[in-house]
């Protein structure tokens, strides 16, 4: 990732794949729909209707896919800002590329499947698949043009001023050209497989998102055949960016692309023939997995599906701008794609592979220390360090706010449990963790030490399926009990339960979170985690683990809200309570912070609440299908999105409740999939000090942000908020970096 996070180069791909975003001030717009010149609420005229059963018309909602695409545009806007550290701007371009790749692999592929079954609207917004595909094509073509404009006109020239250059073939001097020739012969050519296109060699089946070259040829091959075309796949095992040796650059950061090396020497692959043209291209395929609910073994079924992901249906073709029309037409015909599925790019066809591990702190974010809460540090300073985590949790609940707080307390809790003779059992959910995770190593050590270890691993976490299968096998070999949750429901809850014998009684310790048990993500995702020994919460989690291992009916929980059973119902009832308070002339207020809002019944209930006079403030990172600030419909609802240095990932639900305030953190977004098709948990923040901390830092702080926040209007247009005249700029994430580091002693510790 970056020097700021002290990540190794291998973590970069994980950071890109999981769509992490960094920081920005004063983001620049990327299309005419994002207007940063205006700020503030505006009531929008939108035609909407409400039927007798209380439901709202399709025009009352914003299309989910277009809303997600607008989020990607807000990410792209970060790369355009000159106020952003230069290498972080380059990283934003890579994030945007990764986001768009997944958007096509999953969302566009799904719309194309619906279109193939009939061009009929079946969604809340009322658009037909063909209309949606056309709108997406228009927006993405413009956005990708803007992406490469930013690269070529802004970032690359600025990098060149810092002596960081991606050299083109015609920019190399004689010595550098000779070195590149040797590199091709020694490192590249041995792993290339040129494939001629002829009756004996049909067009090859190309892997999803792989870099390939199409070469036009003249002459005869070794068997005397006339060959006109050939395909050369670029080896995925080779780096896409190669640094030139210091002796050839004076120690400067000068690089060449693998594509340039292959292009320059592709003629060597066809001796006796002439290469008349060479053009890189990239094919995107449907990468969603189709796993039936009635499979006998999820792990075995997934292993088969993962291979299919590499060769799913075609959805997009990328070529460079200089690719001749007859070549792009040939490829479109071969892949059975249409003109609007062709994307011409002015540069490398895959920017996600552009970043090199530059060690230039001045062009990165200023580093910071991930601190440890003082409750844990106090116990660490005492004699019994081996059980310090348990001692701290017995005294009071402890809240961590990542990435400002370190992830190490979670790891230390597990390692202490693994070696503590008083610990009898450990149970944990794992959605994304990574094969080299300290979490996984600690669980394996606990199992080897004779603890009863149960791991509920969600094998279907998108793009982490193979990693999670490896984790499951590793833990099983260590002696842990591994289960895969419930067929048909992803286990997305973030839960840890430790059972300990103390003075002839059993005491349970728990951790609940809004984010995954993933140490690298915890350095760049904002998430809350609660450490507690509360008996009621511990009992609730015990019951949930019994559900997940296949025992009995849905649990009757005391404190936790639990999807797919009670969470949606409770949220609806909490909104109803606010409606009743407003109708009684009392103060009524709702604040929700989440990644997305797409569930139709909750949106309808929020519309009802707005019309009743409830003040509603929504802080949503990505998708929002609700239309705020529409006359008569949602005048009391505001929606904002904060795009910053860290990926906003906390989920917080606040209801004023006539002064008896309710505040929950949880793993669930307000989406159909989270509320009805996943196992999720929301947990109350009952400690007054921690309540104040979450309310002020996690909600009010973000509502005051006037530098990294964007506001949505009823037409689906996002505008960046700017400080008003005389107003002090406020950046929510920068505020947390400053305040938490000043309150907590900046000390970390690890096992």
First CA to last CA distance, the chain: 23
In order of 52, 63, 166, 205, 676, the CA distances from 56 in angstroms are: 10, 14, 53, 46, 21
pLDDT for 700 beyond 90: yes
* Token pair of 266 as six digits: 């592709």
* Phi, psi for 126 (deg, rounded to 5): 85, 0
Q: What is the pLDDT of residue 530?
A: 98
pLDDT bucket at 11, cuts 50 / 70 / 90: very low
* Mean pLDDT of the chain, nearest integer: 87
Give the integer Cα–Cα distance in Å for 705 and 690.
Answer: 21
Q: What is the pLDDT of residue 288?
A: 75
Torsion of CA 550, 553, 554, 555, to 10 degrees: -90
Q: What is the pLDDT of residue 551?
A: 67
Q: Which fold has domain 3-30+63-160?
A: Methane Monooxygenase Hydroxylase; Chain G, domain 1 (1.20.58)
pLDDT for 382 beyond 90: no
Residues of the chain above pLDDT 90, percent: 71
Q: Which CATH code fits 562-743?
A: 3.30.870.10
What residues are paired with 486 via a beta bridge? 489
Give the integer Cα–Cα distance in Å for 135 and 145.
Answer: 16
Q: What is the pLDDT of residue 358?
A: 81
Q: What is the pLDDT of residue 432?
A: 80
Q: Which CATH code fits 374-556?
A: 3.30.870.10
DSSP assignment string, 472-536: HHHHHHHT-EEE--BTTBEE--EEEEEEEEETTEEEEEEEEESS-S-TTGGGTEEEEEEEE--HH
pLDDT for 716 beyond 90: yes
Q: What is the pLDDT of residue 27?
A: 36
pLDDT for 385 beyond 80: no
Q: Which class in CATH covers the domain with range 167-353?
A: alpha beta
Residue 108 is classified by DSSP as: I
Angle, helices 408-419/438-448, rounded to nearest 10 degrees: 10
Most confident of 15-24, 55-64, 139-148: 139-148
* Token pair of 469 as six digits: 């299968």
Give per-residue pLDDT as tens, 64-77. Answer: 999 999 999 999 99
Average pLDDT over residues 590-595: 98
pLDDT bucket at 379, cuts 50 / 70 / 90: confident
Higher pLDDT residue, 576 or 470?
A: 576
Average pLDDT over residues 529-539: 98
CATH 3.30.1840.10 placement within the chain: 167-353
Q: What is the pLDDT of residue 291?
A: 47
Q: What is the pLDDT of residue 16?
A: 32
Give per-residue pLDDT as tens, 335-356. Answer: 999 999 999 999 999 898 887 7
pLDDT bucket at 638, cuts 50 / 70 / 90: very high
pLDDT bucket at 467, cuts 50 / 70 / 90: confident
Name residue, tokens 């949106």: 603
Higher pLDDT residue, 23 or 254?
A: 254
Q: What is the SS3 assignment for 397? A: coil
- Of 492, 511, 562, 581, the active-site residue reads 492
Give per-residue pLDDT as tens, 495-519. Answer: 999 999 998 899 999 999 999 999 9
DSSP assignment string, 604-616: HHHHHHHHHT-EE
Of 369, 366, 357, 367, residue with least CA distance to 84: 366
pLDDT for 38 beyond 70: no
Give per-residue pLDDT as tens, 214-255. Answer: 999 988 766 667 778 999 999 988 999 999 999 999 999 999
Give per-residue pLDDT as tens, 70-120. Answer: 999 999 999 998 878 999 999 999 999 999 999 999 899 999 988 888 877
Do the beta carbons of residue 640 and residue 631 sit within 8 Å? no
Do the beta carbons of residue 35 and residue 29 sit within 8 Å? yes
Do the beta carbons of residue 747 and residue 371 sit within 8 Å? yes
CATH 1.20.58.310 placement within the chain: 3-30+63-160
* Phi, psi for 738 (deg, rounded to 5): -75, -50
Q: What is the SS3 assignment for 282? A: strand
Q: What is the pLDDT of residue 699?
A: 98
Of 270, 279, 269, 277, residue with least CA distance to 219: 270
Helix and strand element counts for the chain (H, E): 23, 27
Cα 564-570-576 angle, rounded to 5 deg: 140
pLDDT for 521 beyond 50: yes
* Token pair of 535 as six digits: 């008996």
Do the beta carbons of residue 346 and residue 320 sit within 8 Å? yes
pLDDT bucket at 359, cuts 50 / 70 / 90: confident
Cis bond before residue 564 (omega within 30° of 0):
yes
In order of 34, 437, 643, the CA distances from 7 in angstroms are: 33, 14, 22
Give the integer Cα–Cα distance in Å for 296 and 684.
Answer: 37
CA atoms within 13 A on the CB side of 108: 25
Q: What is the pLDDT of residue 219?
A: 82
CATH 3.30.870.10 placement within the chain: 374-556, 562-743
Give per-residue pLDDT as tens, 411-458. Answer: 999 999 999 999 999 999 998 877 689 999 999 999 999 999 999 988
> Strand 253-257 and strand 241-243: pairing?
antiparallel
Q: What is the pLDDT of residue 579?
A: 98
Q: What is the SS3 assignment for 99? A: helix
pLDDT bucket at 463, cuts 50 / 70 / 90: low
Does residue 492 carry a catalytic annotation? yes
Q: What is the pLDDT of residue 354?
A: 80
Average pLDDT over residues 16-24: 34
Residues of the chain above pLDDT 70, percent: 87
């Amino acid at each position: 990732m970056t020097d700021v996070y002290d990540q190794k180069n291998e973590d970069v791909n994980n950071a890109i794949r999981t769509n992490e975003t960094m920081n920005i001030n004063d983001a620049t717009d990327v299309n005419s729909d994002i207007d940063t010149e205006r700020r503030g609420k505006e009531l929008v005229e939108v035609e909407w209707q409400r039927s007798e059963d209380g439901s709202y018309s399709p025009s009352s909602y914003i299309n989910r896919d277009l809303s997600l695409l607008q989020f990607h545009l807000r990410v792209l806007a970060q790369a355009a800002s000159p106020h952003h550290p230069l290498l972080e701007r380059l990283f934003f371009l890579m994030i945007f590329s990764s986001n768009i790749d997944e958007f096509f692999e999953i969302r566009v592929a799904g719309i194309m499947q619906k279109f193939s079954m009939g061009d009929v609207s079946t969604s809340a917004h009322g658009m037909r698949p063909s209309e949606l595909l056309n709108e997406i094509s228009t927006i993405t073509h413009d956005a990708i043009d803007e992406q490469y404009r930013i690269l070529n006109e802004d970032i690359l020239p600025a990098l060149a001023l810092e002596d960081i250059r991606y050299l083109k073939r015609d920019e190399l001097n004689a010595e550098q050209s000779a070195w590149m020739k040797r590199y091709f012969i020694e490192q590249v050519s041995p792993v290339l497989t040129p494939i001629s296109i002829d009756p004996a060699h049909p067009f090859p089946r190309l892997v999803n998102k792989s870099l390939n070259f199409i070469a036009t040829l003249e002459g005869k091959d070794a068997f005397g055949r006339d060959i006109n075309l050939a395909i050369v796949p670029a080896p995925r095992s080779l780096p896409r960016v190669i640094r030139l040796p210091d002796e050839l650059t004076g120690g400067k950061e000068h690089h060449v692309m693998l594509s340039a090396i292959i292009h320059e020497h592709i003629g060597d692959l066809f001796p006796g023939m002439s290469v008349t043209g060479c053009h890189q291209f990239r094919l995107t395929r449907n990468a969603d997995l189709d796993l039936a609910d009635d499979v006998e073994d999820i792990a075995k079924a997934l292993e088969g599906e993962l291979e299919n992901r590499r060769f799913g249906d075609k959805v997009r073709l990328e070529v460079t701008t200089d690719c001749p029309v007859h070549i792009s037409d040939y490829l479109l015909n071969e892949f059975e794609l249409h003109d609007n599925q062709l994307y011409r790019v002015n540069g490398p066809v895959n920017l996600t592979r552009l970043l090199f591990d530059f060690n230039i702190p001045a062009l990165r974010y200023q580093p910071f220390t991930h601190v440890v809460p003082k409750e844990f540090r106090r116990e660490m300073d005492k004699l019994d360090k081996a059980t310090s985590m348990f001692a701290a949790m017995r005294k009071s609940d402890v809240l961590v706010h990542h990435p400002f707080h370190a992830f190490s307390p979670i790891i230390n809790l597990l390692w202490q449990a693994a070696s503590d003779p008083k610990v009898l059992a450990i149970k944990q959910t794992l959605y994304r963790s990574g094969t080299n995770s300290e979490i996984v190593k600690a669980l394996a050590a606990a199992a080897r030490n004779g603890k009863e270890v149960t791991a509920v691993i969600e094998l279907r976490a998108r793009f982490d399926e193979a990693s999670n299968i490896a984790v499951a096998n590793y833990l099983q070999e260590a002696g842990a009990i591994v289960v895969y949750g419930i067929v048909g429901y992803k286990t997305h809850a973030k839960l840890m339960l430790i059972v300990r014998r103390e003075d002839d009684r059993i005491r349970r310790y728990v951790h609940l979170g809004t984010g995954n048990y993933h140490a690298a993500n915890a350095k760049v995702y904002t998430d809350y985690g609660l450490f507690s020994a509360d008996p009621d919460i511990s009992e609730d989690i015990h019951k949930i683990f019994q559900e997940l291992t296949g025992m009995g009916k849905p649990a009757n929980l005391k404190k936790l809200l639990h999807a797919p059973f009670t969470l949606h119902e409770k949220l609806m009832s909490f909104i109803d309570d606010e409606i009743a308070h407003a109708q009684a002339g009392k103060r009524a207020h709702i604040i929700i912070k989440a990644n997305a809002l797409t569930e139709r019944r909750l949106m309808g209930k929020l519309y009802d609440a707005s019309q009743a006079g409830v003040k509603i403030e929504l802080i949503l990172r990505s998708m929002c299908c609700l239309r705020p600030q529409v006359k008569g419909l949602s005048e009391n609802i505001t929606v904002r999105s904060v795009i910053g240095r860290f990926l906003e990932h906390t989920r917080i639900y606040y209801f004023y409740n006539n002064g008896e305030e309710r505040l929950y953190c949880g793993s669930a977004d307000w989406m159909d999939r989270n509320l009805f098709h996943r196992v999720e948990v929301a947990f109350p923040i009952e400690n007054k000090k921690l309540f104040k901390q979450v309310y002020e830092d996690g909600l009010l702080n973000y509502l005051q942000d006037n530098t990294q926040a964007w506001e949505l209007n009823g037409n689906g247009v996002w505008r960046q908020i700017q400080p008003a005249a005389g107003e002090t700029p406020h950046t929510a994430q920068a505020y947390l970096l400053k305040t938490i580091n000043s309150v907590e002693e900046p000390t970390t510790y690890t096992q």
